């Protein structure tokens, strides 16, 4: 009987040492390991990208070069819709890129691209918050420059337009002139709209209200949500016989 008990004990020990013990150690490994040891678990690290002033100037020049090499497009009837679509797309991309260049040159960040991450600690430390927002500003400006760099897809669109021009040129100059006038009017209208936004963003900097508007907007959303969740009062009218 004692021999049987001993055999069971030996078997349980083998199972524990070979299966259960490694499992328990793996579950609590993060408690035993140091920060340095944990950091070596993976070789992947956060990648960073910072544009130099020389790279920014080069990107500006590429966009202006695209604008300088834009060619008029024939308005052949069979290709008119496709040409109009491509021309509008090129116009929008070009206008967006040139507007972002003006923002980046003036070191002004438009509202839609302002990163508004709030810290968990030291919210009321003025010096800390100033440095915090400066870092966010740097990140936002890098994002703007990245968008400008990617906007070079205009080259591909203009190549398609040029190909259509070669294949559908019919000498219909009056229609082509009309399209040119329409494009200029459309560009002028959109530039005025972009200029108003740029003026508003500049006023934010003048009033030192760059990030305050986001906080006010968030507070208003929270207030509306709380009002919506607040239970409504129900009145029961006494019915008289």
| Highest-scoring range by mean pLDDT, 19-28, 113-122, 167-176, 195-204 | 113-122
pLDDT for residue 104 is more than 50: yes
Confidence of residue 3 (pLDDT cuts 50, 70, 90): low
Give the pLDDT mean for 219-236.
Answer: 58
In a domain, 231, yes or no: no
Residue 85 burial (C-beta neighbours within 10 Å; 0-12, 13-18, 19+) = exposed
Q: Are 56 and 104 in contact (CB under 8 A)?
A: yes
Among the ranges given (58-67, 68-77, 206-215), the one the predictor scored with the smallest mean pLDDT: 68-77
* pLDDT tens digits, 83-95: 667 777 777 777 7
Confidence of residue 68 (pLDDT cuts 50, 70, 90): very low
Give the pLDDT mean for 47-75.
Answer: 66
Into how many domains does the chain fold? 1
In a domain, 48, yes or no: no
Q: Are 142 and 114 in contact (CB under 8 A)?
A: no
In a domain, 93, yes or no: yes
Greater pLDDT, 1 or 150: 150
Average pLDDT, the chain: 67
In a domain, 175, yes or no: yes
Q: Which of 145, 130, 126, 180 is nearest to 56 (CA)?
A: 145
pLDDT for residue 76 is more than 80: no
Distance CA 75, CA 178 (A): 10
Confidence of residue 71 (pLDDT cuts 50, 70, 90): very low
Residue 80 burial (C-beta neighbours within 10 Å; 0-12, 13-18, 19+) = middle
pLDDT of amino acid 69? 45
pLDDT for residue 10 is more than 70: no
Confidence of residue 150 (pLDDT cuts 50, 70, 90): confident
Q: What's the pTM?
A: 0.54
* pLDDT tens digits, 130-146: 898 889 888 988 988 88
Helix (H/G/I), strand (E/B), else coil: 52: coil
pLDDT for residue 51 is more than 80: yes
In a domain, 21, yes or no: no
Locate tokens 């990107």: which residue? 59
Confidence of residue 206 (pLDDT cuts 50, 70, 90): low
Q: What residues make up the domain containing 170? A: 58-208
pLDDT of amino acid 46? 64
Distance CA 142, CA 131 (A): 17
pLDDT of amino acid 229? 58
pLDDT of amino acid 202? 67
């Amino acid at each position: 009987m004692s021999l049987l008990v001993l055999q069971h004990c030996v078997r349980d020990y083998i199972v524990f040492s070979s299966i259960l013990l490694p499992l328990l150690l793996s579950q609590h490994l993060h408690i035993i390991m140091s920060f340095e040891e944990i950091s070596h678990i993976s070789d992947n690290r956060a990648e960073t990208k910072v544009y130099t002033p020389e790279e920014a100037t080069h990107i500006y020049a590429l966009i202006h070069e695209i604008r300088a090499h834009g060619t008029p497009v024939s308005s052949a009837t069979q290709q008119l819709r496709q040409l109009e679509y491509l021309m509008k797309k090129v116009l929008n991309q070009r206008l967006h890129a040139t507007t972002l260049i003006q923002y980046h040159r003036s070191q002004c960040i438009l509202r839609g691209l302002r990163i508004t991450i709030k810290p968990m600690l030291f919210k009321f430390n003025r010096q800390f918050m100033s440095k915090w927002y400066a870092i966010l500003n740097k990140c936002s400006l890098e994002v703007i420059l990245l968008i400008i760099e990617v906007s070079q897809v205009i080259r591909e669109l203009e190549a398609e337009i040029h190909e259509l021009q070669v294949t559908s040129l019919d000498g219909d100059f009056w229609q082509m002139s009309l399209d040119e006038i329409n494009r200029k009017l459309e560009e002028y209208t959109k530039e005025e709209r972009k200029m108003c936004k740029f003026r508003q963003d500049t006023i934010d900097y003048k009033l030192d209200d760059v990030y305050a508007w986001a906080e006010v907007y968030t507070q208003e959303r929270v207030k509306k949500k709380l009002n919506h969740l607040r239970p409504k009062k129900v009145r029961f009218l006494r019915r008289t016989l």
